[in-house]
Structure 1
Amino acid sequence: EKAVLVGPEVEQQDWNCLRMVYQLTGSATLQLQRRLEGESFDHMLWSAHSPSDSWLVASIDLQNSTEPYKIVIEGRPGSAEGSSVSIFEISISDKYCIECDFEESHLCGYTNQWNSNVNWYVGRGDPNSHTHSDEPGNYMYVDSVHTKTLKEVAKLVSPMTMVPLSGCLSFQYQQDHVDGHLFSVYSRDRAGQYQELWRADQPENNQVDWGTETEVVFEVSFNSPKGGRVFLDDISFSPEFCSEETEPTFDPKVADCDFERGFCRYTQRAADAALWRRVSVQPNIYRTGDHTTGTGSFLLANSGFTMQSGYVSRLYGPPLPGNQKYCLRFFYSLRGFSKTGQALAVYLYDTAGPKQDEIWAQSEKTRDAWIQTELSIQSQKTTQVVFVSTCKSFWTCGYVGLDDITVSLGDCELQLGPPSHPSHCNFETGLCGYTQDKHGDEADWVLAKGPTPTSYTGPIGDHTTGVGHYLHIEASQMFAGHRARLVSSVLRGSKGPQCLQFFYHMYGSGTGTLSVLLSSDLEEEDRVLWVHSGEQGISWVRASVSYQYDHSHQIVFEALRGPSLRSDIAIDDIIFQKGPCKDSDRPASGDLNNIE
Structure 2
Amino acid sequence: GHYISVDTSYKGEKAVLSSPDLYSEEWSCVRLIYQIATTSDTSPDPARLNLYLRQEGESFDRLLWSAKEPSDSWLIASLDLMNSTKKYKLVLEGEIGQDKSTSIAVFEIKITSGYCIECDFEENHLCGYVNRWNPNVNWFVGGGNIRNSQSILPKDHTLNSALGHYMYVDSVYVKHFQEVAQLISPKTMAPISGCLSFYYQLKQESSIVFTVYLRDMSGFYEEIWKTDNALNADWALAEVDFNAPYPMEVIFEVAFNSAKGGYVALDDISFSPVYCSNQTGTPFNPVNAGCNFEEDLCNFYQDHKDGPGWSRVKVKRNVYRAGDHTTGFGYYLLANTKFTSQPGYIGRLYGPTLPGNLQFCLRFYYALYGFFKMSGSLAVYIFEENHVVQEKIWSVLDSPKGVWTQAEISFKKPMPCKVVFVSWCKSFWDCGLVALDDISLSLGSCQAADLLLPSPGECTFEKDECVFTQKKRGRGSWHRKRGPTPTSYTGPRGDHTTGVGYYMYIEASNMVYGQRAYLVSRPLRGTSGKQCLTFFYHMYGAGTGLLSVYLKKEGDDEEIPLWRRTGEQSISWLRGLIEYESDTNYQIIFEAIRGVSIRSDTAIDDILFQAGPCLEVEEIQFSSGYPDSLNEIEY
Q: Same fold (TM over 0.5)?
A: yes
2:515 corresponds to which residue? 482
2:173 paired residue among 146, 158, 162: 146
Q: Which amino acid aligns with 1:522?
A: G
Change (3 A) 1:334 1:418: farther
- Whichever residue aligns with residue 299 of structure 1, its letter is L
The equivalent residue for 1:117 is 136
Q: CA deviation at 1:180?
A: 3.3
**Does the alignment pair 1:331 with 2:358?**
no
| Corresponding residue of 2:247 | 213
Of 469, 488, 494, which aligns to 1:461? 494
Secondary structure at 1:416's aligned position in 2? Answer: helix
Task: Please show how residues 364-403 of structure 1 align to structure 2 within 5 Å.
Answer: 364-403=398-437
Structure 1 residue 430 displacement after superposition? 1.1
Paired residue for 1:156? 183
**Paired residue for 1:300?**
334
Q: Which residue of structure 1 lines up, in the alignment, with residue 8 of structure 2?
A: none
How far apart are the structure 1 equivalents of 2:104 and 2:400? Answer: 52
Q: Deviations over 1:408-466 (max 9, x none)?
A: 22222222377447611111121113212128x75222111111111111111111111
Tell me by how many angstroms 1:503 deviates: 0.9
Aligned to 2:73: 54
Q: Which amino acid in 1 is paired with 2:197?
A: S
Distance apart, 1:265 and its partner CA: 1.2
Match of 1:174 in 2: 201
Q: Deviation digits for residues 103-136 of structure 1, max 9, x if unmatched?
A: 1111111111122222111111444311047773
Question: What corresponds to 1:557 in structure 2?
Answer: 590
Q: Select 1:92's aligned residue among 89, 101, 111.
A: 111
Q: 1:350 aligns with which of 379, 384, 406?
A: 384
Structure 1 residue 247 displacement after superposition = 5.3
Is this contact kept in 2: 1:279–1:593, CA < 8 A? no
Deviations 1:39-91 (A, max 9, x none): 21111111111222111111111111122211111112233223222111111
Which residue does 2:41 correspond to in 1? none
1:10 lines up with 2:29 in the alignment? no
- SS in structure 2 of the partner of residue 271 of structure 1: helix
Match for residue 129 of structure 1? 156
- 1:384 shift after superposition: 1.7
* Aligned mates of 2:457, 2:295 — CA distance in 1: 28
Deviations 1:183-237 (A, max 9, x none): 1111122222211121113899832222321111111111112121110111111
- Distance in 2 (alpha carbons) for counterparts of 1:370 and 1:97: 41
Once residues 412 and 280 of structure 2 are traced to their aligned partners in structure 1, the CA distance between those partners, rounded to angstroms, is: 19
**How big is the shift at 1:275?**
2.5
Residues 210 and 254 of structure 2 are in contact (CA less than 8 Å); yes or no, is this contact kept in structure 1?
yes
Please tell me whether residue 451 in structure 1 is matched to residue 478 in structure 2: no
- Which runs of no fewer than 5 residues in structure 1 stay unpaired? none
- In 2 relative to 1, CA 388–348 (structure 1 residues): closer, same or farther, beyond 3 Å? same
Residue 427 of structure 1 corresponds to: 461
2: distance between equivalents of 1:246 and 1:206?
15
Whole-angstrom distance in 1 between the partners of 2:223 and 2:34: 32
The answer to whether residue 109 in structure 2 is matched with residue 82 in structure 1 is no
**Paired amino acid for 1:208:** F
Give the letter aligned to residue 97 of structure 1.
Answer: C
300-309 or 22-31: bigger deviation: 300-309
Shift in alpha-carbon separation, 1:322–1:552, aligned structure 2, 3 A: closer
Amino acid at match of 2:190: V
- Residue 570 of structure 2 aligns with which residue? 537
Q: Secondary structure at the match of 2:287?
A: helix
> Aligned letter for 1:235?
I
Tell me, in whole angstroms, the C-alpha distance in 1 between the residues paired with 2:360 and 2:541: 41
2:57 corresponds to 1:38: yes
Q: Distance in 2 between matches of 1:363 and 1:566?
A: 32
Mean CA deviation greater in 387-396 or 228-237: 387-396
Cα offset, 1:363, TM superposition: 1.2
Give the secondary-structure state (helix, strand or coil) at the position aligned to 1:179.
coil
Aligned amino acid, residue 39 of structure 1:
E
Task: Pick closer, same or farther for the CA change 1:89–1:229 going to 2, 3 Å.
Answer: same
Q: Distance in 1 between the 2:215 and 2:205 partners?
A: 25
Amino acid at match of 1:19: R
- Counterpart of 1:70 (choices 89, 113, 116) is 89
User: How many Å separate the matches in 2 of 1:148 and 1:354?
Assistant: 49
Pick one of 271, 278, 288 that aligns with 2:322: 288
User: CA, structure 1 residues 524+410, in 2 after alignment: closer, same or farther (shift >3 Å)?
Assistant: closer
C-alpha deviation, 1:315, in angstroms = 0.9
CA distance in 2: counterparts of 1:211 and 1:517, whole angstroms: 40
Q: CA deviation at 1:499?
A: 1.0
TM-score between both structures, scaled by the size of structure 1? 0.94
For the residues of structure 2 that align with 1:589 and 1:385, how far apart are their CA atoms? Answer: 39
Instruction: Pick the aligned partner of 2:541 from 480, 483, 508.
Output: 508
Q: 1:3 Cα deviation (Å)? A: 1.7
Residue type of the partner of 2:171?
Answer: S
CA distance in 1, matches of 2:539, 2:451: 27
SS at match of 1:319: coil
Check 1:160–1:249 CA distance in 2 against 1; reply closer, same or farther (3 A cut).
closer
1:24 aligns with 2:36: yes
Are positions 1:104 and 2:133 aligned together? no
Aligned equivalents of 2:477, 2:570: Cα separation in 1: 23
CA distance in 2, matches of 1:248, 1:227: 42
2:57 match: secondary structure: coil
Instruction: Find the residue that maps to 1:495 and give its secondary structure.
Output: strand
Please report how far the alpha carbon of residue 312 of structure 1 lies from its aligned counterpart in structure 2 after TM superposition.
0.7
CA distance in 1, matches of 2:160, 2:574: 62
Q: Any conservation in 1 of the 2:198–2:238 contact (CA below 8 Å)?
A: no
Q: 1:552 to 1:61 in 2, by over 3 A?
A: same
Equivalent-residue separation in structure 2 for 1:225 and 1:135 (angstroms): 26
Deviations 1:383-420 (A, max 9, x none): 22111111223332222111111222222222237744
Contact 1:277 1:595 in 2 (8 A): no
Post-superposition offset of 1:24:
1.4
Contact 1:503 1:573 in 2 (8 A): yes
For the Cα contact (< 8 Å) 2:212–2:225, is it kept in 1?
Answer: yes
Percent same amino acid at aligned positions?
52
Cα distance in 2 between the residues matched to 1:417 and 1:106: 27
Contact 2:196 / 2:239 at 8 angstroms: preserved in 1?
A: no
Judge conservation of contact 2:155–2:161 (CA < 8 Å) in 1: no
For the Cα contact (< 8 Å) 1:284–1:536, is it kept in 2? yes
Q: d(CA) in 1 for partners of 2:627 and 2:269?
A: 58
Q: Which residue in 1 is equivalent to 2:4?
A: none
Counterparts of 1:478 and 1:273, CA distance in 2: 53
Tell me which amino acid in the other structure corresponds to 1:195: E
How far apart in 2 are the matches of 1:364 and 1:244?
50
Counterpart of 1:163, as a letter, is: A
**C-alpha separation in 2, matches of 1:346 and 1:302:** 17
Classify the secondary structure of the residue corresponding to 1:415.
helix
Separation of aligned partners in 2, 1:178 and 1:319: 48
CA contact (8 A) 2:143 2:162 kept: no
Partners of 1:396 and 1:321 lie apart in 2 by 37
Asked whether 1:195 is paired with 2:222, we answer yes
Label 1:254 to 1:89 Cα distance change in 2 as closer, same or farther (>3 A): same
| Residue number among 239, 246, 256 corresponding to 1:222 in the alignment | 256
**CA RMSD in angstroms, aligned pairs only:** 2.3
